[in-house]
Amino acid sequence: MATSQPPTKDLTALATQILELSKSYDPAAKQTNLEREIVTKARELIAAVQTPRDYMTTVLRSIMESSAFRALLSLGAIQAIPPTDPITLADLESKTGAQASLLKRLFRPVVQGGIITLHPDGTYSHTPMSAVYARDEGDVASLYNYMFDEAMVQTGFAEYFQQRGAREPDGELATTHNPRTWHARQEGKTVFEILEQDPEHLRAFQKLMVMATRFRPYTGFYDFGKLVGEEGRTVIVDVGGADGTTVAKILEAHPDIKPEQCVVQDREQVIELAKKNEGLQKGVRLQAHDFFLPQPVKGAKAYHLRAICHDWSDTMVVKILKHLADAAAKDSKVLIADVVMPEGPLGGMAAFMDLGMLCIGGKERTKQNFEEVLGAAGWELDAIYPSGYESGFSIVEASLK
């Protein structure tokens, strides 16, 4: 059967671009942007010569390879390989308790992917890629296991949308009835309640949230100082402000804002953590509050929501924003610190982040999406202030209509 051919591209030009980029590449240096650019160009080159059938095969191989690697990690086989010396299957069987013939089959796609080395004498050894997982630097193995398991939720999308209807999770049930809770066979519980059942996954999730702050800067791209006005008025209410770190960072960068002009709100148990935050300036008001209830601080200059809206469906975000609109003064602002998705082709991890939020009933939003939820709640988008990070993290500023 004839296979359709990919569109003709200038392969020489792509190869030349990769060659030029590689001249500046230093494996020992931290060159994240350059590495991504080289990988992107390499993918363009592969796509230029792949047929649709080749592409399908590549995707399926990737799934099988990552599944086998996940199994080997859980069995302790990757960790059992010595740091520098090769090891036999018999020794791996002895160390892990896993059947040698099973390990051999699981290693095949991983070896083919270049993650583990298979020697002519049948022994196995690490590559630089796998050695990191064996040492578990920065809990990388547990992070991989968590991210793989969460990604596997998406393999059930087809069945989920056939059973539950082909539409986004929305409304008050979106947090308890979504692909993630369906996959766990625990609809009716929140994702966080399910996470708490697995301490290892919960630790990995918490570590990922800490790592995410590197791509979600607190300050440096929005002028919080412009919010300062009349004496005695609340300048910033950080809604869902966790332990107060966001307000602390804002106060560090903008000493013209007084701690007494700031409020940190969150659930009661989270506010107890904020009380122990030694980095939070004295004078900041701490207030237990559920943001689905009417906002108790009236007429603040700004109501700030950092990485809150993407956790919730459109219906629930509108509910949050309506409470803020009811409490706002005519010149109040709402500031939404979140990823703003581009409308066109995506780079980086944006598309995958959004699918991750879809799994839990949330959503990464485009400018149009923000305009829609803001408009439905009585707000009007003023401007978007991008952080400059590839993640698309920005501050969306809005005023009352």
Q: Which of 178, 213, 248 is the last residue of a domain?
A: 213
Q: Is residue 365 part of a domain?
A: yes
186 in the same domain as 42: no
Question: By three-state DSSP, how is residue 124 classified?
Answer: strand
With a cut of 90, say whether residue 3 has pLDDT above it: no
For the chain, give the percent of residues with pLDDT over 70: 96
Do 121 and 156 share a structural domain?
A: no
pLDDT digits (tens, 9 = 90+) for 190-236: 998 998 898 888 888 888 887 778 788 999 999 999 999 888 899 99
Let me know if residue 68 belongs to a domain: yes
Instruction: Please give the Cα distance from 207 to 169 (Å, whole number).
Output: 26
Mean pLDDT across 20-36: 84
Rounded average pLDDT over 72-93 = 95
In the predicted structure, residue 35 carries a pLDDT above the cut 90: no
Instruction: Evaluate whether residue 11 is within a structural domain.
Output: no
Mean per-residue pLDDT over the chain, rounded: 91
Task: Provide DSSP, 38-88.
Answer: HHHHHHHHHHHH--HHHHHHHHHHHHHHHHHHHHHHHHTHHHHS-SSS-B-
Is 350 a residue whose pLDDT tops 90? no
**Six-digit token pair at 370?**
């923000």
- Residue 6: the pLDDT is 46
Kindly give, in sequence order, each residue whose CB lies less than 8 Å from that of residue 115, ignoring residues fewer than 6 positions away.
65, 69, 127, 129, 130
- Across the range 60-67, mean pLDDT stands at 93
Whether residues 283 and 165 share a domain: the answer is: no
Q: Is residue 27 part of a domain?
A: no
* pLDDT for res 138: 59
Identify whether 201 is a catalytic site residue. no
254 and 198 in one domain? no
pLDDT at 201: 83
Overall average pLDDT of the 373-383 stretch: 98
Q: Would you list the DSSP string of 204-243?
A: HHHHHHHHHGGGS-SSSSS-GGGG--STT---EEEET-TT
**How many domains does one find in the chain?**
3
Q: Is 23 part of a structural domain of the chain?
A: no
Give the domain extent around 95: 32-132
Asked if residue 6 is part of any domain, the answer here is no
Is residue 236 domain-shared with residue 384, that is, in the same domain? yes
Among 163, 194, 213, the domain boundary falls at: 213
Residues 237 and 276 in one domain: yes
DSSP symbol at 4: P
Residue 1, pLDDT above cutoff 50: no
Q: Which long-range contacts (CB under 8 A, 24 or more apart) does 155-159 make?
A: 155/63, 156/182, 156/183
Q: Would you say residue 15 lies in a domain?
A: no
What is the Rg, in whole angstroms, of the alpha carbon atoms belonging to the chain?
Answer: 25
| Residue at 89 is within a domain | yes
Q: Say yes or no: 117 and 47 in one domain.
A: yes
Q: What is the CATH number of the domain that holds 362?
A: 3.40.50.150
**pLDDT tops 60 at residue 186:** yes
pLDDT for 5 beyond 60: no
pLDDT of res. 348: 67
pLDDT reported for residue 135: 80
Residues 182 and 288 in one domain: no
Give the pLDDT band (50/70/90) at residue 9: low
Q: Is the pLDDT of residue 2 over 50?
A: no
Q: Are residues 227 and 208 in the same domain?
A: no
Domain boundary among 132, 162, 184: 132
| Same structural domain, 229 and 179 | no
Residues 226 and 351 both lie in one domain: yes
What CATH number does residue 76 fall under?
1.10.10.10
Residues 345 and 306 placed together within one structural domain of the fold? yes
The verdict on pTM exceeding 0.85 is: no
Query: pLDDT of 107-159, one tens digit each?
Result: 999 999 999 999 999 999 999 999 999 886 657 888 888 889 999 999 999 99
Residue type, 365: R
Which one is catalytic: 289, 304, 310, 323? 310
